[in-house]
A and B are shown apart, each in its own frame.
Chain A
Amino acid sequence: MGEVRADRGAAGQLSEAAESELLQQCEEQFARLEKLQNEIILCEPDICENHQEQSVNRLAATDAELKLWMSTEPSSLAANAEILLHAGKDEMLKLCSELEMVVSCCEAKRDKLRETKELEQKWLEEKKQVLLAANDHIERLRVEKEKYSEHNILLDTKAKIKKMKTYQEQLMESLGDILGKHVPPPQEESTASKKKKNIPLEISEDLVSLNTILEVLMDKVMNTPHDPYVTIDHTFWPPYVEMLLRYGIAVRHQENNFKIRLETFF
């Protein structure tokens, strides 16, 4: 139907015969439309509420449409040569405008590609330079390495060790300070905080400070790395052990509840 209409638009210059033929076609189409319309209206509308039924409906409609498509035969537009000529002309004009779009599109693509090419060439150039620089660097390192005498390395390592030692001492001192200030040995603490009633009164004389516990743990890890566990004995004040475990500083042995080790912080 759309095509018939399109023809009509160009019908301005058509001869009378051609025009009447077109009109005739339109009339026929419209009569068919009216007939179908009447049929539809006469049809009893079957209202279906649920979706299942609607799906069935849809399936039937699709099926019918498919059958219609399958059985549709192509037909010729019109017999009148004049009409065909006009239709052909229209078709050509449409094609021309489409091809103009294609041209401008291709030109845009070409320009884009050109830009991309330039950009990528620039990048390639930069990458080459990077490669060059990296190679230079490797070369430099190699030369440096050759120049480096054994003696130098020894001195260097010594200096490093010394630095590390001072750093370690510093750390230990800080740790000692902190522990001394905030975690005094249990005896003193219990006397100092009398307010807390639930602290067991009889605190063994042998209890060691947190410093000592940590020291034992650390020494054990360093001296026997294959067996870093320390057995908890009566000198370890239970709240300290509890604290070490809770804050992840120490870890309990998986099988033996009385053994703990330092968390692997390294």
Chain B
Amino acid sequence: MSLLKPFSKLPDLNTANILLVENEEQFQQNLADTLVEETAVTVNVRLAKSLPLPMENDESRPRIDLVVFIINLTSDKSFESAKASLKYLDPGYFLGKVCFVATNARHASVRTGCLDALRQLAALLHCPLLFAEDQSPEGATSSARRLLTILKVASGLVPNTTALYLSSLTRCTMPPDIDQPSFD
């Protein structure tokens, strides 16, 4: 099993590297296009359908500072695939270098319990769970900007902060059950 490790390579100057994992490969391209527009630092975006990453690119691949799992809540497969990919990450990543992005959370056809399961997973792993409006360009921009906020911290570009510190502030929590909409 080839684990992806957070500190196996030296960082580059003024550079942050992000890996977007999405089974459907729908939203990641959009996100990537917006992410690389950042000017203050060099942002490298790597895309993957799932983990593990292929061995042949291992040499050329920079050190990954943040792994993002994009999960479409209207598809069961999306969640299962992300869940399966998690075990190819070094535990070191779970100290603030993993993040979940959920799309379609407001869709009428969200699979029952899918959102809860995702929340549970994110809460268990102490990772942040962001929600994205993947259908609109503004939604993509804003998601990209939020990911950049996390990425900059995760790659050590923000003084006085660490990924672990930020993740303890942003980790997902389970919302109360009251008034949870019941879908029939």
Contact = CB atoms under 8 A, between A and B. Distances in A.
Interface of A: 1-3, 5, 33-34, 37, 40-41, 45-49, 51, 54-55, 57-58, 61-62, 65
B130 interface: no
A62 B168 contact: yes
B125 A33 contact: no
Size bracket of the B interface: 20 to 34
Interface in B40-86: none
Interface stretch (B111-119, B131-139, B155-163): B155-163
B164 A65 contact: yes
Contact of B8 (A5, A41, A62): A41
Contacts, number: 45
Nearest to B90: A45
Name the 4 nearest CB pairs between A and B, nearest first. A40-B7, A2-B159, A61-B95, A51-B124
Interface in B1-43: 3, 5, 7-8, 10-11, 13-14
B156 A54 contact: no
B91 A62 contact: no
A33 B91 CA distance: 21
Contacts of A3: 159
Contact of B156 (A1, A45, A58): A1
B159 A61 contact: no
Contact of A2 (B3, B11, B158): B158
A5 B40 CA distance: 12
Given A57-B91, A61-B95, A45 B157 contact: no
B93 to A, nearest CB: 10
A62 B14 CA distance: 26
A51 B125 contact: yes
Contacts of B164: 58, 61-62, 65
